[in-house]
Amino acid sequence: MKTNPFYLTNRIPPQFFCDRETETKQLLKSIENQENVVLMAQRRIGKTGLINHCFDLEDVRDNYYTVSIDILHTSSLKEFVKELGNAAFVTVAQKSEKLRRSFLTTLKSLTASIGYDPVTATPTFNIRLGDVESPGFSLDEIFAFLESADRPCIIAIDEFQRIANYPEKNVEELLRGKIQKLTNTHIIFAGSERRILSEMFQSDKRPFYQSATMIQLEPIDPDRYYSFAQNQFTKSGKNLKREAFDVIYNLFEGITLYVHRVLHDCFYYTDSGEICSKEEAELFSDNYINECGTKIKEILAGISESQKELLYAVSAEKTATGITSGAFIKRHNLKSASAVQSAAKALIEAGILTRKGYAYSLSDPMTRIWLEKR
Q: Which pLDDT band holds residue 113 (cuts at 50, 70, 90)?
A: confident
Q: What whole-number percentage of the chain has pLDDT above 90?
A: 81
For residue 373, which of 293, 305, 311 has the smallest C-alpha distance? Answer: 293
What's the burial of 204, exposed, middle or buried (CB within 10 Å: 0-12/13-18/19+)?
Answer: exposed
For 47, other C-beta atoms within 10 Å of its C-beta total 25
Predicted pLDDT of residue 122: 76
| pTM of the shown model | 0.88
CA-to-CA distance for 157 and 146, rounded, in angstroms? 15
Residue 256 burial class via C-beta count within 10 angstroms: exposed 0-12, middle 13-18, buried 19 and up: buried
pLDDT on residue 123: 75
Neighbour-count burial of 277, counting CB atoms closer than 10 A to its CB (0-12 exposed, 13-18 middle, 19+ buried): middle
pLDDT 10s digits, 269-278:
999 999 999 9
117-126, 151-160, 301-310, 343-352: which has the minimum mean pLDDT?
117-126
pLDDT digit string, tens, across residues 256-267: 999 999 999 999
Q: What is the pLDDT of residues 33-87, one digit of tens each?
A: 999 999 999 888 999 999 999 999 999 999 999 999 999 999 999 999 999 999 9
Could you write out the DSSP letters of every residue in 208-269?
Answer: TTT-SEEEE--PPPHHHHHHHHHHHHHHTT-EE-HHHHHHHHHHTTT-HHHHHHHHHHHHHH
Residue 47: its pLDDT value, please?
93
Instruction: Give the model confidence (pLDDT) of 195-217 as tens digits.
Output: 889 999 999 999 999 999 999 99
Q: Is 116 helix (H, G, I), strand (E, B) or coil?
A: strand
Note whether 213 and 207 are within 8 A (CB). no
Label the pairing between strands 153-158 and 185-191: parallel
Produce one character per residue of 284-302: b if its CB has 16 or more CB atoms within 10 Å, e if not. Answer: bbeebbeebeeebeeebee
pLDDT tier at 354, thresholds 50, 70, 90: confident
User: How much is the pLDDT for 110?
Assistant: 81
pLDDT of residue 1: 59
Pairing of strands 320-321, 353-356: unpaired
